[in-house]
Structure 1
Amino acid sequence: MLKFKLYYDKDAEEVWLREMSLKGWAFKKFFLGFYTFESCEPGEYNYQIDLLDNWSGNKSDYVSFMEDLGVEVIEQWWRWVYLRKKAIDGPFEMYTDAESKIDLYSKIINFFKIVLVIEAICFFMELTATILTGNFMYGIFTVLVGAISLAILNVVWKCKWKIEQLKNEEIRMY
């Protein structure tokens, strides 16, 4: 089965992949918003998504480490890595303590900040072209790039909010 979805929120994407598994569809492949699924036992897999520190170099150590933990690396899309583990093997959570979750969300924020700056530059270039030429097509692209920029900004805000929640939980624990 092939499904198209655009996710900017890794947590929501993990929930959706888990729901698909509960319906008997195992995630197999990803490319530009297209998810490929294959039939499986309902609820057979749990999924996690990780963000690598960088996308260059040898990733075989990462894959070997995951395999030693009983985790299968399904797909890598740029720095994003899709992982799954058999549900029968127990819960699957890559980041279990507040500090490691804060580190992950900080990496995601830094990644998306770079993308946001690029999108903002593109937005202002498109806006300038629209104003100078009055071309309708430039206006459409301006709106599209603006919407993408807002979606990315939303990811940054959500991650900042999650970091604040985790920090507050840490403070309450002490």
Structure 2
Amino acid sequence: MLKFKLYYDKDVEEDWLKKMCLNGWAFKKFFLGFYTFEKCEPGEYNYQIELLDSWNGEKHDYSAFMEDTEVKVISQWWRWVYLQKMASDGPFEMYTDIESKITQYNKIKNFFKVALVVELICFFMEAMATINTGSYIFAIFTVLLAVICLAILQIVWKCKWKIEQYKHEKDM
């Protein structure tokens, strides 16, 4: 089965992949918003998504390391890696201590901050084109870029909120 979805939030995406598996569909591949699924036993797998620091082509080493921990690299898109583990092996959580969770959400926050800056530059350029030409086409793209900027800003804010929650938990 092939499904198309766009996610900016890894937690929501992970929950959706788990729900699909609970319904008997195992995640097999991702490319540009297209998810490929195969039939499986309901709830057979658990999934995690990780943002790597960089992707320098050492996919084999990373996959081998993960397989040593009984985790399979299902798919990779740029620096995002989709991981799968048998549900029968118990809970699957890549980051179990508070510091590593804070580090991961900082990585995600910084990743999206860069994307936000790029989108804001595009937004202002498009807004200037709209003002200078009065074109409805430019106005439509300006609104579209504003929506994208707000979606990215929401993720940055959510990551910041999660980091603050973890820091508060750590201080208790």
TM-score between both structures, scaled by the size of structure 2: 0.98
Task: Work out whether 1:15 is the aligned partner of 2:30.
Answer: no
Question: Matches of 2:57 and 2:18 in 1, distance apart?
Answer: 30
Q: Which residue of 1 aligns with 2:133?
A: 133
- SS at 1:63's partner residue? helix
Q: CA deviation at 1:62?
A: 1.1
Q: Which residue of 2 aligns with 1:162?
A: 162
Q: CA deviation at 1:43?
A: 0.2
Question: Matches of 2:77 and 2:59 in 1, distance apart?
Answer: 13
Q: CA deviation at 1:114?
A: 0.7
Q: CA deviation at 1:59?
A: 2.3
- SS at 2:48's partner residue? strand
Q: Which runs of 4+ in 1 moved over 2 A?
A: none
Question: Matches of 1:65 and 1:58 in 2, distance apart?
Answer: 11
Q: Which residue of 2 aligns with 1:35?
A: 35
Question: Matches of 1:150 and 1:24 in 2, distance apart?
Answer: 34
Paired amino acid for 2:83: L
Q: CA deviation at 1:57?
A: 3.3
Task: Give ranges in structure 1 of 5+ residues lacking alignment.
Answer: none
Q: Which residue of 2 aligns with 1:55?
A: 55
Task: Note the 1:1-174 alignment, pairs <5 A.
Answer: 1-172=1-172
Figure out how many residues of one structure are paired with residues of the other and give that number: 172
Paired amino acid for 1:144: L
Question: Matches of 1:55 and 1:163 in 2, distance apart?
Answer: 24
Question: Matches of 1:106 and 1:123 in 2, distance apart?
Answer: 25
Q: Tell me the alpha carbon deviations over residues 68-103 of structure 1, each in whole angstroms, 9 at most, x when there is no partner.
A: 000010000010000000101111100001100000
Question: Matches of 2:155 and 2:42 in 1, distance apart?
Answer: 30
Question: Matches of 1:100 and 1:136 in 2, distance apart?
Answer: 47
Q: CA deviation at 1:47?
A: 0.1
Q: CA deviation at 1:118?
A: 0.3
Q: Tell me the alpha carbon deviations over residues 88-141 of structure 1, each in whole angstroms, 9 at most, x when there is no partner.
A: 111110000110000000000111111100000000000000000011110111
Percent identity over paired residues: 72
Q: Tell me the alpha carbon deviations over residues 135-155 of structure 1, each in whole angstroms, 9 at most, x when there is no partner.
A: 111011101111011100000
Q: CA deviation at 1:56?
A: 2.1
- SS at 2:117's partner residue? helix
Paired amino acid for 1:40: C
Question: Matches of 1:51 and 1:116 in 2, distance apart?
Answer: 17
